[in-house]
Structure 1
Amino acid sequence: MLSKLPIEEFQAHRLAFFEQMPTNSVAIIPANSEVTRSNDTEFVFCQDKNFYYLTGFNEPDALLVLVKNDDSCESVLFCLAKDELQEVWHGRRIGQEKAVADYKVEQAFTSDEIDSYLPDYLDGKSQVFFPFANEALTHKVFAWIAQVKSTFRQGGKAPANLLDSADITNELRLIKSDNELALMRQANVISGNAHQRAMQKAAVGKFEYQVEAEILHEFARNGARHAAYGTIVAGGDNANILHYTNNSDVLNDNELLLIDAGGELDGYAADITRTFPVNGRFTQEQKAIYQLVLDAKNLAVNAIKPGMSFAKLNIITNEFLTKGLLDLGILTGDLATLIEEKKVKDYFIHGLGHWLGLDVHDVGDYHANAEREQHRAFKQGMVMTIEPGIYIPLSDMNVEQKWRGIGVRIEDNIAVTATGYENLTQDAPDTIDAIEALMAKANS
């Protein structure tokens, strides 16, 4: 099935990759293979994101070869052959003819022909790009190079320089095109509505997985057939487990429910977190923590513009949260000392955000220093999450009992514009009044 993005988008991605390649070089980008789940059943197939970024092609066991000569650039796709018997059992294949016609590559061959052709594509080239992290492909590349070297008496010349293709794709993927941004807006609309549905369906006595089912149903019925990552539905103290995905406990009265869930639309991820009261009404303590996190989130979002960085946002947000926790009596001592000693990290235990795109934790260098401060300046077209949180587990004996068991995270998806930002997460309520009103309406 063709992508919702126009095929010209993927051609543009390849062109941008070619522009980063020197003359007389070749790049080899593999697709993923299916992964066995148990015995003879497979996990739902997920394409290698770099391969998808350059092709829009969503079948397993394919390979993209990009060849840059003195006067030409050529895209060659190796993919599964048409096979009536296999297609009866496992589904239709695109085949070589439609690969050329629909995906706009210059040539297409069968996957079975990879080993026959690749030494020829490498012969005479000075550089070869491929993903170093792909161990299986790395072994094959060395085998193909060895095959070329074995023909040196006949004039064979293997590439002398091996370079990691991820260095190029990671940078290209960091800046989203208008088409990509439009798709990510749509993924956010679908995901935001799923969070609304979760708020409307949650109730005391239900199980976390029942709320998860509502979220996944809302994703799928609107075109996002799969979640972008393991959905977190964490009631009460479970919210203080950052990557809680068991989703197996019952929802209790007077507890909060933290949901971290985003749909994947045509490969692109949304990543939204909302926290709300199971019974529809925040307690005073829950309100205090929630409003502090919400204000911190809005403070960070409103500061986003070209030239800003996560390092600068962290300073702003951490100082704000430190003062807030001090005012509530959760932290004690001198404000300046607490800030200097980063005591806020006792309760805000993860980073402020991350890049977002084809992967939920998307690729792209943060320009972090030895202290893990992320100094990369934001540019138009970057998309990121902003997700402050405060986590006070039941086991924390350093605070008053009334605070224990509260875990709050609020997360939006933000695109950097020419002069500021665009908040893609418009459909998931985040104010106390809006959340309580929506839940009251659902229960009336």
Structure 2
Amino acid sequence: MTHANQQKSRAEQNLINRNIKIPQSEYDLRRQRLVDQLPEGSVVILPGAVIRYRNNDADYAFRQDSDFYYLTGFAEEEAWLVLTSGRKGADSHLFCLPKDRAQETWTGFRVGQEQAIAEYNMSCAYTLDQLDNRLPELIDGAQHLFYPMQGDDALSRRIQDWCQQLRQKARSGAVAPEQHHNVLPLIHELRLIKSDAELVIMRHAAEISAEAHCKAMQVCEPEMMEYQLEAEYLYHFMRSGSRAPAYNTIVGGGANGCVLHYVENNQPLNAGDLVLIDAGCELQHYAADITRTFPVSGRFSPEQSALYQVVLEAQYAAIDQVQVGLDCHAPHRAALNVLCQGLLDLGLLGGTLDEVVESESYRRFYMHGTSHWLGLDVHDAGRYKIEGQSRPLQVGMVLTIEPGLYIAPDDDSVDVCWRGIGIRIEDNVIVTEQGPEVITTGVPKNIAEIEALMAGEGIAISA
């Protein structure tokens, strides 16, 4: 590709990224849907995220709280949202940082109160220093108070202080809400079903992430450091419009691939080993989550191929179970049966399939679930069970399918040829009326395609 074409490609990518966004009307609708679920006389209080400091005056990159962002699209730190039920629907009150030219010189542009009302369709917007005075007024007379209950003692104390101020004014007619509820389960159920606009962003995040995995396969070679391969992902994510990975990237060469949450990424990649890479970008707060395992030298060994094929067949079986009306744990059961039968066929386990599944003897090789929800968080919000039963899959849900096998390097119960092999294959799947839509097909996962890509051959990637 010529330099001119590269520049054109980047310009086109930037244009795509600018045009993909959630419309403000959708944030308005989300707030209304939340309020519609509440009993009469309710108020919602939701704080946003705050700056976290790395050391001295250097802070970590700020990311808005996912629940707050879901309801507002507002990305500045220290903001608060208060929802009250008004005659025309949900009244949205935003508390945020004020315009301050001197401070903005140091830390950047602030939206301020006027633009918060105009651009984010807030009913009212206040400065943060008005919070302690305005909050008691907004909750006065409410019967139900909804806010996040997740062990945040500072938030609970502050809310209790506001309620106590109202109780002290009881003779003047002030009434403090006496019934307090956790708002998070209600927001999380809304987040579980993705809108068309959300799915557009998630497909694009998946595409960027898949391209990064392809790049890594093409540049991987023995004696590279794990972090050098990680750098390929970070470069491609940002070049394509993502400002950050959705989670800490895992680059596990050899036996490091058997460590599920390995993130040190500081070891050399050795010839003959596999490398397991779990990496996905975040785009406009939405996550992609892909895992691929491939040979550092470009060719699978017989043992690696045998285990890999078992995992791949398990993944295909699991994806087939992503169907409307089937329960959300059906993919795991399907994958588990294939994995266990494969372990039996390879002589890594003994007994019958039923015995292996019932006794869970497979767990030393496969110790995690096959799926999790995906969205604003990589392990996204939403319950997996309703009244003790696995919930049925619905159109608009998005989940990962990620079976794996991990043979510990010190497992002397198996032949040495199997030890230290870790394999996981993960894709992102949307539940649709027509069946599973795999949105991460842009990166190969069958053995022939991986080896061809690593050999520099042009390939047509299959689903």
Describe the SS at the equivalent of 1:58. coil
Describe the SS at the equivalent of 2:329. helix
CA contact (8 A) 1:258 1:408 kept: yes
Of 432, 439, 453 in structure 2, the residue corresponding to residue 417 of structure 1 is: 432
User: Could you say if the C-alpha distance between residues 167 and 368 of structure 1 is closer, same or farther in structure 2, counting changes exceeding 3 Å?
Assistant: closer
Q: Could you list the per-position Cα deviations for residues 119-148 of structure 1 after superposition, in whole angstroms to 9, with x for gaps in the alignment?
A: 000100111110011332222111101111
Of 423, 426, 439 in structure 1, the residue corresponding to residue 441 of structure 2 is: 426
Deviates more, 1:59-68 or 1:133-142: 133-142
Alignment partners' CA distance in 2, 1:442 and 1:204: 19
Give 1:217's aligned residue: 235
Alignment partners' CA distance in 1, 2:153 and 2:279: 31
Give 2:56's aligned residue: 39
Describe the SS at the equivalent of 2:390. coil
Asked if residue 66 in structure 1 is aligned to residue 66 in structure 2, the reply is: no
Of 386, 391, 394 in structure 1, the residue corresponding to residue 401 of structure 2 is: 386
TM-score by length of 2: 0.92
Give 2:23's aligned residue: 6
Alignment partners' CA distance in 2, 1:83 and 1:248: 43
Q: CA deviation at 1:442?
A: 7.2
Give 2:7's aligned residue: none
Of 395, 400, 403 in structure 1, the residue corresponding to residue 415 of structure 2 is: 400
Q: Could you list the per-position Cα deviations for residues 230-264 of structure 1 after superposition, in whole angstroms to 9, with x for gaps in the alignment?
A: 00000000000000000000000000000000100
Describe the SS at the equivalent of 1:441. coil
CA contact (8 A) 2:21 2:197 kept: no
Alignment partners' CA distance in 2, 1:263 and 1:47: 16
Q: Could you list the per-position Cα deviations for residues 382-433 of structure 1 after superposition, in whole angstroms to 9, with x for gaps in the alignment?
A: 1111100000011010111111110000001111112422111121111111
Give 1:350's aligned residue: 368
Give 1:338's aligned residue: 356
Deviates more, 1:343-352 or 1:91-100: 343-352
Asked if residue 190 in structure 1 is aligned to residue 205 in structure 2, the reply is: no
Over aligned residue pairs, what C-alpha RMSD do you find?
A: 1.7
Give 1:129's aligned residue: 146
User: Could you say if the C-alpha distance between residues 212 and 39 of structure 1 is closer, same or farther in structure 2, counting changes exceeding 3 Å?
Assistant: same
Q: Could you list the per-position Cα deviations for residues 202-239 of structure 1 after superposition, in whole angstroms to 9, with x for gaps in the alignment?
A: 11010000000000100001111100000000000000
Give 1:23's aligned residue: 40
Structure 2: gaps spanning 5 or more residues: 1-17, 459-463
Of 257, 267, 283 in structure 2, the residue corresponding to residue 265 of structure 1 is: 283
Give 2:263's aligned residue: 245
Alignment partners' CA distance in 2, 1:350 and 1:137: 34
CA contact (8 A) 1:24 1:69 kept: no
Q: Could you list the per-position Cα deviations for residues 166-200 of structure 1 after superposition, in whole angstroms to 9, with x for gaps in the alignment?
A: 02101000000000011000000000001011111
Alignment partners' CA distance in 2, 1:385 and 1:440: 29
Alignment partners' CA distance in 2, 1:369 and 1:209: 44
Alignment partners' CA distance in 2, 1:272 and 1:301: 14
Q: CA deviation at 1:16?
A: 1.2
Deviates more, 1:331-340 or 1:29-38: 331-340
Q: CA deviation at 1:2?
A: 11
Alignment partners' CA distance in 2, 1:73 and 1:308: 35
Of 60, 72, 76 in structure 2, the residue corresponding to residue 55 of structure 1 is: 72
Matched residue type, 1:228? A
Q: Counterparts of 1:315-330 in structure 2 under 5 Å? A: 315-330=333-348
User: Could you say if the C-alpha distance between residues 213 and 272 of structure 1 is closer, same or farther in structure 2, counting changes exceeding 3 Å?
Assistant: same
Asked if residue 230 in structure 1 is aligned to residue 245 in structure 2, the reply is: no
Alignment partners' CA distance in 1, 2:332 and 2:456: 37
Q: Could you list the per-position Cα deviations for residues 340-364 of structure 1 after superposition, in whole angstroms to 9, with x for gaps in the alignment?
A: 2122222111111101100001111
Alignment partners' CA distance in 2, 1:72 and 1:309: 35
Alignment partners' CA distance in 2, 1:392 and 1:106: 57
Q: CA deviation at 1:70?
A: 5.8
Describe the SS at the equivalent of 1:105. coil
Of 326, 329, 333 in structure 2, the residue corresponding to residue 311 of structure 1 is: 329
User: Could you say if the C-alpha distance between residues 259 and 83 of structure 1 is closer, same or farther in structure 2, counting changes exceeding 3 Å?
Assistant: same
Q: CA deviation at 1:4?
A: 2.2
CA contact (8 A) 2:318 2:330 kept: no
Describe the SS at the equivalent of 2:448. helix
Alignment partners' CA distance in 2, 1:67 and 1:310: 35
Matched residue type, 2:423? V
Q: CA deviation at 1:325?
A: 0.6
Give 1:101's aligned residue: 118
Q: CA deviation at 1:72?
A: 4.2
Matched residue type, 1:225? R
Q: CA deviation at 1:369?
A: 8.3
Matched residue type, 2:366? F
Describe the SS at the equivalent of 2:411. coil
Describe the SS at the equivalent of 1:173. helix
Matched residue type, 2:171? R
Alignment partners' CA distance in 2, 1:392 and 1:228: 27
Give 1:169's aligned residue: 187
Matched residue type, 1:413? N
Q: CA deviation at 1:270?
A: 0.4
Matched residue type, 1:88? T
Matched residue type, 2:244? H
Give 1:77's aligned residue: 94
Q: CA deviation at 1:311?
A: 2.9
User: Could you say if the C-alpha distance between residues 416 and 87 of structure 1 is closer, same or farther in structure 2, counting changes exceeding 3 Å?
Assistant: same
Alignment partners' CA distance in 2, 1:140 and 1:22: 23
Matched residue type, 2:453? L
> Taking every aligned residue pair, what percent have the same amino acid on both sides?
46
Q: Counterparts of 1:106-117 in structure 2 under 5 Å? A: 106-117=123-134
Alignment partners' CA distance in 1, 2:193 and 2:328: 16
Asked if residue 119 in structure 1 is aligned to residue 119 in structure 2, the reply is: no
User: Could you say if the C-alpha distance between residues 385 and 241 of structure 1 is closer, same or farther in structure 2, counting changes exceeding 3 Å?
Assistant: same
CA contact (8 A) 1:306 1:416 kept: yes
TM-score by length of 1: 0.96
Alignment partners' CA distance in 2, 1:86 and 1:338: 63
Deviates more, 1:294-303 or 1:340-349: 340-349
Matched residue type, 1:140? R
CA contact (8 A) 1:208 1:235 kept: yes
Matched residue type, 1:318? L
